[in-house]
Amino acid sequence: MPQNDYRTAAASYAEGLRTLFAPSQESTRSVLRVATEDELADRADSLVAQSATLIGQTAEYLADDDMATRLGAEQSLLAQAAASLRAADGLLAIVDADGGETTRSAGAGRPSAGFDDLLALIDGSLEEIGAQVEPEPEMTRGGANTTPADLIETADDAIRQVVAGVGTFARGTVASLVGLDPALLKQAAGMLGSELSQALTKLGENVTRLVSKAVAFIVQAYDSLLAALGQDAASALRVQAAEWVEKLQQGEALTELADALYQTDDMKLRVAALIEGSGAPGPVLGKTQSDVEALSPSFQSRIKLAGQIRAGLGLLKFIPAAKGPLELATGVLYLALLGYVVVAGADYVDAPRLARIGRVPGVLETIQTGLIPA
C-alpha cells in the first residue's frame, strides 16, 4: 500500500515540531532572539493542525496486510503522542517560569530531550519503523531439533514473560497515579473521547494563550493514543484499566489479576494439547520454538514508547499551570495508556476473552501456523 500521503504529512509535521521552540524569525546572525508568545502560539496552531492530519494518515495503515507496516503505524502514533506531550510540557514550562508573563529567557521551555528520537519513529518508512519491533525468529536461539516438552516450556515462558511485562507497567502506572484523587480517576474512566476534548477545549477558553495551546497538544496526545487503540476498544479498556488500578491499590496480587485477565492457565492447556497432538517432527518443532521465542522481545520493544508517554504525563504533574481540570485529562491518558499495554499483551498471549487488536500473531497462533500444515 503506497505511503505517499503519510510520508508527506510526516515530513510536514516533523518540520513543525523541529521549529516549535526555534529562535524568533527576527533573529540575525549576530543577535539571537527568543520567540515571542505570538510566534509560539502561531507555530503551535500550525503544528496541531499538522498533527491532526498525520494521525488520520497514520491510522489508515493499522489494518495493513503487512505486519511490519501495521506495527510501524502503531509505533508512529505512540511517538506522536509522546511528542505532543513534550510540546505541551515545553509550553507549560514557559508559562510556569514566567509566572504567566509573555516574555521568557533564552531556551526556556525547550524540551531537554528534544524531538529527534521520536521523529525517527515518525518521519520514515512505516515498514522500517515496524521492523524494529516485529518478532525476529532468526535472532533467537531456537535449535534445529526440539521435543514437544521443550516447545511447551518455551510457550509457557513466552506467556509468563509477556504477563510479567504487563504487570511491571501496571505497577509503574499505579505509582504514577499517587496523589490523583480516586474520584477523579473514576470520572476519567467513564469519559468518552469527545467529552474529554470538549472539557479541555472549554478549559482552553479560560486560561492564558500558551496554556490553551498546551491543552491542544494534550488533546492531540489523547487522539494519537485513541487511534492506536481504536475508539471502541479504548473506551472499554479504560474502564477495565481503572478497575485493575483500583484493585492493585487495594493490595490485590498482581499475578492473580493478570492470570484472570488473560486466562493463562486455559491458554497453556490449549497450547500443550495442540503441541502434543500435532505429531510434528523435531525440526518443525525447533523452527516453531524459534518463532515463539521471538514474541516476548517483540512485546518489550513494542511498549517502550508507552513508558515514554507515561514519563511525559509525569512531568505535567509538577507544573502548576497544568493543575485543575488538566488532572482529569492526565487520568484519562494514564488509563488509556495502561489499556494499550494490556491489549498489546493480549495479542501475544492470544487471550481468549479479551479484545485484541490483532497486529501480531500470538503464542497459540504462532504454534498453529508452525505445526499444522496449511
pLDDT (0 to 100) of residue 95: 84
**pLDDT greater than 70 at residue 324:** no
Q: Per-domain residue ranges for the chain?
A: 4-371
Q: Which of 21, 17, 74 is nearest to 46 (CA)?
A: 17
Model confidence at 253, pLDDT cuts 50, 70, 90, reads: low
Q: Within 13 A of 290's CA, how many CA atoms are on the CB side?
A: 15
pLDDT tens digit sequence for 47-56:
999 999 999 9
pLDDT tens digit sequence for 259-281:
788 899 999 999 999 999 999 99
Average pLDDT across the chain, whole number = 84
pTM of the predicted model as reported, rounded to 2 decimal places: 0.88
pLDDT tens digit sequence for 97-111:
766 544 434 344 455
